[in-house]
Amino acid sequence: MVTIMKHEESAATKVRVPLDEEESQAVETLAAPSAEAPAQSDETVGDPFVERAKMSARHVDVFYGEKQAIFDVSLDLGEHEVLALIGPSGCGKSTFLRCLNRMNDIIPECRVEGDLRLDGEDIRTRGMDPVLLRARVGMVFQKPNPFPKSIYDNVAYGPRLHGLAANRSELDEIVATSLKRAGLWGEVKDRLHEAGTGLSGGQQQRLCIARTIAVSPEVILMDEPASALDPIATAVIEELIEELRQNYTIAIVTHSMQQAARVSQRTAYFHLGKLIEVGETDRVFTNPRHPLTENYITGRIG
């Protein structure tokens, strides 16, 4: 039985050279699952590209000061698909996600290199306003973070900022539609002017999703959106993700492999800043081709 601990030990021992005889035997035992690693182990296993890419990353490197966090990652987000990003803590999932709407720009020592596109358009040119980009590529965070405003004003915030409504009734319409799409309307329609922070955790997260939807994004990035929620609220969010896919392209970071299996069509496995393997979710979970992917999956489920 492979455990995640063993797999992390084996990764750590790999970089320790030279080894004495006793040590190398020990490492061989520990690293046994990696023995069949393909020769091209630095290349991503599986096909990171899709026919109809909504977003594309090519040869993306990310640095925090001197420290490199993402290594040469190339990956597409397909239109109307849910792409799950999985991997051990600290492997760069959030960092990669933040490349897609330039949220890394606001981290002072963070530097991003490579090519990032939305509908074929370079998102890092001077002509691309990051505020507009973040409306097109919205983000939902791990901890629900409603503004200290009413439910209505939370959802109306973006449309007001971007001047999306000509008058109050248009704004009302956007707020109602967004709350409906986020599956929250029924629960809040009679108390739109109460504080958003007074809602339950699961409701707050759906409010944040409504706020993201209100500016008509094309892509929604979700960074562990359900990890602070109870199982019932999580199930509601997961159902919602399936519905949202009809209208949006979604990338979701999740620590739960069961969740990845339930909500996504494609899965990308990251390890130490590298994209190790990517493929159709069912295939990755039932027949992982890279030993690191297999170790991760069997270690957590088995």
Coil, strand or helix: which one is 42? coil
Q: Nearer to ligand ADP by C-beta: 236 or 297?
A: 297
CB 74, min distance to ligand ADP, A: 17
From the list Mg ion, ligand ADP, none, partner contacted by residue 107 (C-beta under 5 to 8 A by kind): ligand ADP
Q: How many amino acids of this chain bind ligand ADP (CB under 6 A)?
A: 11
Report the nearest approach of ligand ADP to the CB of residue 64 (Å).
Answer: 3
Render the burial of 128-161: b for 16+ CB within 10 Å, e for the rest: eeeeebbbbbbbbbbebebeeebbbbbbbbbbee
- Our CB check for Mg ion shows the closer of 94 and 234 to be 94
**Cβ proximity to Mg ion, 94 vs 178, nearer residue:** 94
Least separation, in Å, of the C-beta of 136 and ligand ADP? 22
234 binds ligand ADP (CB under 6 A): no
Nearer residue to Mg ion within complex by CB, 69 or 135: 69
Bridge partners, residue 230, by sequence? none
Residue 179 carries which side chain, given as an amino acid letter? Answer: L
Candidates 56, 94, 212, 264: give the one binding Mg ion (CB under 5 A): 94
Do the beta carbons of residue 223 and residue 97 sit within 8 Å?
Answer: yes
H/E segment holding residue 256: none
The CA-atom distances, in angstroms, between 243 and each of 26, 76, 248, 261 are 49, 21, 9, 16
Range 35-94, binding ligand ADP (CB under 6 A): 64, 69, 87, 89-94
CA distance 39 to 37: 6
CB of 205 to Mg ion, least distance (A): 16
Q: Give the pair of three-digit tokens for residue 288.
A: 């992982």
Task: Provide the pairing of β-strand 121-122 with 110-118.
Answer: antiparallel
Q: Please, which of residues 97-136 interact with ligand ADP by CB under 6 A?
A: 107
* Nearer residue to ligand ADP within complex by CB, 69 or 229: 69
Residues of this chain that interact with ligand ADP (CB under 6 A) are: 64, 69, 87, 89-95, 107
Residues of this chain that interact with Mg ion (CB under 5 A) are: 94
